[in-house]
Each structure stands twice: as C-alpha cells, then as structure tokens.
Structure 1
C-alpha cells in the first residue's frame, strides 16, 4: 500500500486576500486616526517678572581742582607798582553839602523867653538852632558827625555848664564849642530858674532837624517806665507795688497853669513843624523795623 505524499497545507486564495485587505484596512484606519486626532495644547511659557532697577553706573572720577596759580614776588611787585601808578578815578560830582540854617529871629527868641511848657521847649530849640547856624556849611566827609551836650543855662541866660556826652566827630564838637563860646547874649529863661537839658547838634548834610510841634504841650506827660524788679544786689530787694496810672502823671508839666491859660500859650504850628514831625516819626518807625 502506497502512503500518500506529504504536501503543505495551503490557505485558500480567497481567504488570504480577505485577510490582507483586513490588515491594510486596519493600518489605514490607524493612520487616519493619528493624522486627524487634535494635537495636545502646547504648555504655556513660564511667566517672568521684570524688575526695573536704576542703572548703577560706575561713579565718574571727579576731576581734581586746578592748582592755584603761583604768584611770584616779582609779579606781585609789578602788580602793586601798576596799582600805584594808576591814577584814582575822577569824580565830577561834588560831595553833598547842607548850608547852615538861619539863626532864630528876635520874634522867635521873644517867644522862647516866655514859653515855659515842657521844660522851656521853645528856648531849647532856639538855642540849638543858634549853635548850628554859627557852625557853617556841613560837607559830606570825615568831618561830618553829631555831638550831644548836657547844657545848663543860668536864669539870666548865661551859659553855666557845658558837658560833652558823646560825639562822632572831633571836628563837629570843636565847631559846636566854638559857636557856643561866640553866641550873643541870650534872654532870661522862661521860668526864672536854671534850665538844664540835653541837646544833639547834627553837623551832617542830611540832617533834618526842624521846628517842634507845640499842640500837645498842655497834656500831661505819660508815665515813665521804671522796672520795679531792678535791684543792685545790696540790701533787701525792692517790694513791688502797683501804682495807679493817674498818680504817676506829673501835673507840673503845665507849671501850675489852668487848661485855659495853658492853651493861650500854644502857638500856631507851621507847615515846617508838621513836616519835621512826620520825618521824626518816620525815622523812628524805620529804626524800630530795622532793629527786629
């Protein structure tokens, strides 16, 4: 008995084609899914914080100061020689001057001799005007200045005492003393008693001493300020007591005259007197403002 020959088992041709098509379909389907699948979102870039800092530039080296020029002795001598040879600048403008005021008239001296109010106010003014009128013209320069005297006039009008309190110019003091020695005879004092007062003579081109104002001379003097706490350190300290303001007013300012009699003595103030009073008040206020 002959055995059949061994042959390999072959897959039917139709089945093989079907398997091949199925495998290719699966491959194509996988590729289609991979191509049309949405790509995952890309991760957001990390946030960075930027700090604005001032630029710290390197400090610039400071230039060293230029050395001071060396002035030799020869150069200094030459400079001094040129300064000595250079003539001073010429000034065509003359220095300021003020002519001597007119001396009091006989009528003004007659009024001063009978006006006793405020320590013979008219007599004191006329005396100062007489002295200044005899001193001559004041010229701006080293000779100008002021001098203040303490004066005592005897009841008959003679000079009893003359004392210099202070002065800013020896020439002004010398001129004033010479004028006082050469003064004409003066009338008697209004009160018949010695007249003691202080007077400043201004020998300057800008002096503005004018006639006084008499309209308030019948009013009592305001109380003078006295510090009640002043103590020289010897003995017991003073006891502070309050004094009424009315009791400090001296009634002797009117020399025992009634108000009606006093008002009859007052002269009519001139425009020059009013202008001089305004200047004195303005100078007083200006000096107080500058002293603050």
Structure 2
C-alpha cells in the first residue's frame, strides 16, 4: 500500500544542461526542437518548450564539459514547500535559500547523495504568449511551432548514481516521491529505479554509474505527442547529422515509445512519453524486473545497446 494519495511536488521545473559546444547545442534545441529563447544571461541561454506553462524549460550553459547543472522542482503549495525543506534539512543535504531564476520565486537548494545540484520552489510566473506565438486554442501555453521536432514539454530526467539505492531512498524521503518500477540485480541491489510525483509513471530515474564518479547525467527526455512524431524526429536528426544512439522502439519498462540521440554537446536526449502508462491506482504495486528478464531486451525484442550502459556526461574514464 502507498503511504499517501497526495503529492507535495508537482513536477520537474527545469534542468540546466552543460555543454562544451554551446552554439551547436543552442542550434539543436532552438532550431531542431523548436524551443524558444526566453533570455540570455552571461554564459547561459534560457529556452522553453512550446506548451510549457512556466517561463523556461532548460537552461543551457557553456562549460568545459557536458553534464547536468541545477535541476529544479515545483511544489504544489507554499505549505508543501515548507514540508519538503524541513525534510531535506533533516537529512542534512540542504544548501540554503537563493533567489529563483527567471520567473521563479525563492528556491531552496540541496543535493542528493551523489552530488547532483537541485532546487525546490513554489512561486512561479506563468508564460504569456505574445502576438508572434499566441495559440489558436486558449488551453495551450503558446502556438504549436509546426517545425522541427516540436518538443512539447520536459518529461523526465535520468541521473547516473554511484549508489542507486542511497539516491532513491533520498528522493523518497526528501521529495515524497513514489517508486513505480525497478531492476533488481542478482547480487541484491538495484540497477535502476523509477520514481514519479503524480499520475505519470515516472519523472526521475537513477541508473547505476559504472564509473562510480558521481554527479553525472544519463539523459533528459522531452515528451512527444505520438509515435509518428518520434519517427519523424528520427528523420530530422538523420538529415541534420545528429547521432541516433537507439530507437525508435518501445521500452519494456513503463512502455514508452522512445528515441535516443546525442545533442552536439554530448548529452543524451530522449524523445518519449507516447504510450507511457498512467498510474491511476493509488495503491499501485511496484513492478520489479530481474536481470534475466531485462536481458530479453526492449518490449519487441531489440537488445539494449551497449553504450546505454557506458555513455554518460561528463565523460570520464573507468575508475
């Protein structure tokens, strides 16, 4: 049985991606994914997906190496924010309050056991479309771009972790997340662990980092509306010289239709969500997979490509 049917955290607010190829990465997100530049500050550009209700979705920052910077989460209320901050402080991994970035209010910074930088906030400014992107339908945040991949929204983030279980247990307590699926190793630990905030089947994932380096990214994912959108995305990436790592295909875990590519800075990007499960049952049991079951590959039998277990950012040598 689940502990509660309520959630203190609504969703992932934004993700900061680090790139050593800033202009090429900007081209990827702005031109191929049809994301809109909201603001430029120093070495960073803030971009939004077309149906994002907040001001921005990703912060793209020039860096010597690829990887992930700050990930933010929005709570469901001011009281929920206070509860989560108190829990994080009790765990001893809080870093203190800062001013929120574009369109967000006071943000409490913290980190997971692996060192990934995170922030949590409640106050948020809603995006207001202008004359050049006002939607025909008033229940959209802005007009459908009708070009490129048309990334609709940020869907989830998958971190690499030195200790999947330690990081997962932290999320369960700090953010009151629920687990949906996991892979249990024959040795007894977890190879990967999926967590969700509300009715989506997952929002945050931890996968085992074979380098045991810490503070690394496996991928971030953007939601596509249909499988056909993902198939078209593969053609767009092919025509533009973007490395397609795996897919299009269907995951066995959570049943998302997927496509994985590397953006020019080296970060893995997934396009997914089409076909994903909704967890409407408040007492939904956790689905556990064995090593033997996962060796069967993806839903339709395609074996998981080897780089899926070895590529992460920043790239590091085996320790």
Same fold judged by TM-score > 0.5? Answer: no
Q: Which has the higher helix share?
A: 1
* Structure with the greater alpha carbon radius of gyration: 1
Whose RCO is larger (CA < 8 A, sep 6+)? 2
Give the alignment's TM-score, normalised by structure 2: 0.21
TM-score normalized by the length of structure 1: 0.23
